Structure 1
Amino acid sequence: MRDIFEEIFKGEPLDPMELARRSVRPNRRKRFYETAAVVEDDNSFVIVLDGKTVRTPARHLLAAPSRALAQAIADEWQAQMDVIDPAKMPLTRLANSIIDGVAEKPAEVRDDIVKYLGSDLLFYRADGPEGLTERQAKAWDPVVRWAADTLGARFVMVEGVVFAAQPKEAIAAAAQAIPENIWRLGAVHSIMTLTGSALLALALAHGAIGAEDAWKAAHVDEDWQMEQWGRDTLAMERRAHHKAEMKAATDVLEWVR
């Protein structure tokens, strides 16, 4: 079934950062199968359409390391109606990214997370107004304290947007919390690019913050701006799309240990 992914997912990046950032307008193909299901094969859970295996754009088997995750991917396929719409299949998209991208170059993905730790969203605080600074502190300080107390990573907070180098020791300490498992690594990277914060992604992966709180923390500045100047319809549409991608990544963290 190579043509499925070549036609439907054509043009989608394998790089997990680009996959998370881009809202690709996908090709659509008429649904051609009756049933999407999962079969177990050698400690892997394979997605099948009418009993036939499916392959990713890079020709790898579309399979997951846990039955729950594989079933959720199969459910996305089963939920498609007359046409197959990848925009409504965030878990399948993320699985493609992890299987074809992260698994091939895990060190590069890890290095990208480390790079983010050097200039994380949570370190750059507004110098006013008071209402915004209070919201940032309320949403971000608990995660920064978790990094210091649990990981031994003591970062420097900066007022304004001028870059300030973080202590190498802090970055190295936080980097120890980056998952080794490629599925969890891919999920953390996706969350990082969606939220703009590696620290939020790591805190979520380690249970130090909930998914909804992490999502709200990532949008403190944007929400403040919209309260002052009005809602941005396009921004809210992008956010809805990204939140679906975020849920897919948090589902991976929940179902892959």
Structure 2
Amino acid sequence: MAYRAAAVHGPRGILTRIVSMSHSLARPELPKRFYREAAIAPANGGHAVLLDGRPVRTPARKPLVLPAERPALAVAAEWNAQGERVNPATMPVTRLANTIVDGIADDPAPVRHDLRRYAETDLVFYRAESPERLLERQVAHWDPVLAWARGRIGHDFIRVEGVMHVAQPPETLAAMSQWIDAYEDAFAVAALHQMATLTGSLLLALAVAERELTIEKAWQAAHVDEDWNTQQWGGDEEAQARRDARFEDMKAAALFAQIPANHS
């Protein structure tokens, strides 16, 4: 029987919906490309995305202005990569940027609050009872993240075998809350949430944001159980395609989560 040692997170807010919906955005009739070139330009302390010199607007008709050059260039690259028709399903950075500008930038507090729930039910707290080789993989991928986070906040975490909820120490949760609150930029907060949603782990998301782990290492750590099951029972092309698409969302989020303090 396949084993999955992870707390299950239900749909939560606009960011979770954008993750779950992002891979079914293709429509029978996609809009035709109406521009020649996408570029970026300084605007309002950030970087605006322009199509033939005109600013791109979000679905809510707000100017698409990003806080740093790197994600702005990524959005422009997605627009430039479109063919005869514009397909939002191939534009994960643009989708996330639109979501943040329209639904989160004005008030990131609810998303920050939601992140605290992941601190209570993080994937890496829940370990397999058996087989031993799976447990060894979890230890190899997850224990270094726990050790890093422990050193970061000065408090320990409780691990448990199985999937029954375990309450983390109050002092640990308080320290995690302070860590989350240190992320004041709405784009970074939203990006952390998207990565936590995709991986089931706030600690893995923070490790990517603070460059403790590469995106690839964090993604591998998030899929230890799934990869084990695949090795035992075989894979599925459609499932792999969905996983690949989610990884593109993960990379898009990392562009915003890793914005340095000087927004360069």
TM-score under structure 2 normalisation? 0.88
Partners of 2:235 and 2:227 in 1: CA distance: 9
Q: Which residue of 1 aligns with 2:6?
A: none
Partners of 2:107 and 2:170 in 1: CA distance: 24
Partners of 2:24 and 2:189 in 1: CA distance: 23
Q: Which residue of 1 aligns with 2:147?
A: 145
1:224-235 equivalence runs, <5 A:
224-235=228-239
Deviations 1:109-135 (A, max 9, x none): 011110111111110000000110000
- Root-mean-square deviation over aligned CA pairs: 1.6
Q: Does 1:175 align with 2:177?
A: yes
Tell which deviates more after alignment, 94-103 or 14-23: 14-23
Aligned identity (percent) is 45
Residue type matched to 1:15 in 2? I
Residue type matched to 2:243 in 1? R
Q: Which residue of 1 aligns with 2:255?
A: 251
Contact conserved, 1:183 with 1:256, CA < 8 A, in 2?
no
Contact conserved, 2:188 with 2:259, CA < 8 A, in 1?
no
Which of 36, 56, 74 is residue 38 of structure 2 equivalent to? 36
Residue type matched to 1:143 in 2? V
Q: Which residue of 2 aligns with 1:97?
A: 99
Partners of 1:256 and 1:77 in 2: CA distance: 25
Contact conserved, 1:184 with 1:256, CA < 8 A, in 2?
no
Partners of 1:171 and 1:70 in 2: CA distance: 34
Contact conserved, 1:187 with 1:250, CA < 8 A, in 2?
yes
Q: Which runs of 5+ in 2 are unaligned?
A: 1-11
Q: Does 1:15 align with 2:14?
A: yes
1:119-130 equivalence runs, <5 A:
119-130=121-132
Residue type matched to 1:205 in 2? A
Q: Which residue of 1 aligns with 2:24?
A: 24
Tell which deviates more after alignment, 205-214 or 237-246: 205-214
Which of 147, 151, 165 is residue 163 of structure 1 equivalent to? 165
Q: Does 1:70 align with 2:72?
A: yes
Contact conserved, 2:189 with 2:257, CA < 8 A, in 1?
no
TM-score under structure 1 normalisation? 0.91
Pick 1 or 2: higher relative contact order, CA cutoff 8 A, min separation 6: 2
Contact conserved, 1:14 with 1:96, CA < 8 A, in 2?
no
Q: Which residue of 1 aligns with 2:8?
A: none
Q: Which stretches of structure 1, 4 residues or longer, exceed 3 Å deviation after superposition?
A: 254-257
Tell which deviates more after alignment, 91-100 or 36-45: 36-45
Contact conserved, 1:125 with 1:136, CA < 8 A, in 2?
yes
Q: Secondary structure at the match of 1:48?
A: strand
Pairwise CA distance, 1:171: 1.4
Number of corresponding residues:
245
Contact conserved, 2:43 with 2:65, CA < 8 A, in 1?
no
Residue type matched to 1:175 in 2? S
Pairwise CA distance, 1:15: 1.1
1:100-111 equivalence runs, <5 A:
100-111=102-113
